[in-house]
Amino acid sequence: MAAIVRPAPPKKHAAVGEEHLVPVYVWELPVRLSHWGIVAAVTVLTWTGLYMNHPFLIFPGPRQWTMGTVRFIHELAGFELIGALMVRIYWFFAGNHWARWRQFLPLTQRQRRSLKAMFRYYTFQQRKPFEQIGHNTLAGLTYIVVYFLIACECITGLVLFATVEGSPTLRFFVGWIPRVIDIQWIRMIHFLFLFFLMAFFIHHVYSAVLVAMTERNAEMESIFSGYKFVDDETIDEELKIASLEPQQLFSKRKIHRTRDWDR
């Protein structure tokens, strides 16, 4: 892997440390879009859902449509969430190396090392998080759980929607579920998983900020821009493991754009 042509290090990062940091286009547009789509949807769904479970605002006036409006927004946001999740699931199979499903599971030796190292990092046993271009494996496993929770929310939401919306198509797909699990348990699962997502949200924002502060690899910026700054060593190791060609890591157009953006 000696003859990799790499772009010159951006100046402001070179000034920070000795490392040769290279911008790598990690998060493609569908990944970022689905991420922010999920954030927006879950935020709206949380507030509207809490209201729908326990209407904490009472409007005694004669011409109100509060619950009707809240329910409508909840349903719209629900379909947006389903759309975002479907984009992400499609990108598990169609996306770049770091978006694919293999990144989320401890399949390789390196990923298992990452899992152990990240556990040690979070329990104060080591100072630096594991250097990985995409998700670290502990995060990957967490996201698998989160995607599962979101999928459960979407399905239970559709089941509940099917009880008010007389769509034969929808009933064909989810109408059998309440005959297996009672509709009240479905409603309870739908409600309970909301809190797990809320708890995940707290942890996710915290650990992202923490790792970004420790690694100084533009982790927080990367979910807006798509670029992470990675050192040579990590790139070499990942290239070797993934048997990727360097062209797959750096496309000229994208690096050019980064340079513009970085100036």
Partner 1 sequence: MATEESILDTCRRRGISRRRFMEFCGTMAATLALPEAYTQTIAKALGQQRKPVMVWLEFQDCAGNTESMLRSPHPTIEDIVLETLSLEYHETIMAGYGKHAEAALKRVVDEEKGKYLVVVEGAIPTADDGVYCTIGGRTALDIAREVCGGAAATIAVGACAWDGGLVRSNPNPTGAVGLHEAVPGIKIVNLPGCPHNPVNTAAVLVHYLTFGVLPALDPENRPLFAYGQLIHDQCERRAHYDAGRYVQAWGDEGHRKGWCLFKMGCKGPEANYNCPTVRWNNSTSWPVKAGHGCIACASSRFWDTKSPFYERLPHPAGFGVDVTAGEIGWTVVAGVAAATAAHAVGHVVRDHFHPGEDEVAAKEAPKTEKPTTEVH
Helices (H) and strands (E) in the chain, counts: 12, 2
User: Is 11 an interacting residue with respect to partner 1 (CB under 8 A)?
Assistant: no
Interface stretch with partner 1, choices 64-72, 87-95, 226-234, 238-246 (CB under 8 A): 64-72
Position among 29, 36, 65, 107 found at the interface with partner 1 (CB under 8 A): 65
Residue 56 belongs to what H/E stretch? none
Helix (H, G, I), strand (E, B) or coil at 57: coil
Nearest Cα neighbor of 110 from 234, 241, 228, 239 is 241
User: Is 196 an interacting residue with respect to partner 1 (CB under 8 A)?
Assistant: yes
Positive or negative torsion for Cα 145, 101, 34, 203: positive
Judge whether 9 and 21 are in contact, CB under 8 Å: yes
Interface stretch with partner 1, choices 103-111, 140-148, 182-190, 254-262 (CB under 8 A): 182-190
User: Is 183 an interacting residue with respect to partner 1 (CB under 8 A)?
Assistant: yes
- From the CB of residue 124, how many other CB atoms can be counted at a distance below 10 Å? 7
Helix (H, G, I), strand (E, B) or coil at 24: strand
Helix (H, G, I), strand (E, B) or coil at 140: helix
Position among 105, 198, 220, 241 found at the interface with partner 1 (CB under 8 A): 198
- From the CB of residue 150, how many other CB atoms can be counted at a distance below 10 Å? 22
Instruction: Tell me how far, at minimum, the Cβ of 216 lies from partner 1, in Å.
Output: 8
User: Is 208 an interacting residue with respect to partner 1 (CB under 8 A)?
Assistant: no
Q: Which is nearer to partner 1, 127 or 253 (CB)?
A: 127
- What is the contact mask toward partner 1 in residues 149 to 168, using x (rule: CB under 8 A)? --------------xx----
- By rule CB under 8 A, what count of residues binds partner 1? 38
- What is the contact mask toward partner 1 in residues 70 to 109, using x (rule: CB under 8 A)? x---------------------------------------
Helix (H, G, I), strand (E, B) or coil at 23: strand
Residue 25 belongs to what H/E stretch? strand 21-25
User: Is 124 an interacting residue with respect to partner 1 (CB under 8 A)?
Assistant: yes
Instruction: Tell me how far, at minimum, the Cβ of 255 lies from partner 1, in Å.
Output: 28
Interface stretch with partner 1, choices 48-56, 80-88, 231-239, 246-254 (CB under 8 A): 48-56
Position among 54, 93, 168, 253 found at the interface with partner 1 (CB under 8 A): 54
Q: How far is 136 from 92, CA to CA, in rounded Å?
A: 16
Q: How far is 152 from 41, CA to CA, in rounded Å?
A: 15
Q: Which is nearer to partner 1, 87 or 211 (CB)?
A: 211
DSSP string computed for 223-247: HHH-EEEEEHHHHHHHHHHHT--HH
Q: Where on the chain is the footprint of partner 1 (CB under 8 A)?
A: 53-55, 57-60, 64-68, 70, 122, 124, 127, 163-164, 179, 182-185, 187-188, 191-192, 194-196, 198-200, 202-203, 206, 210, 214
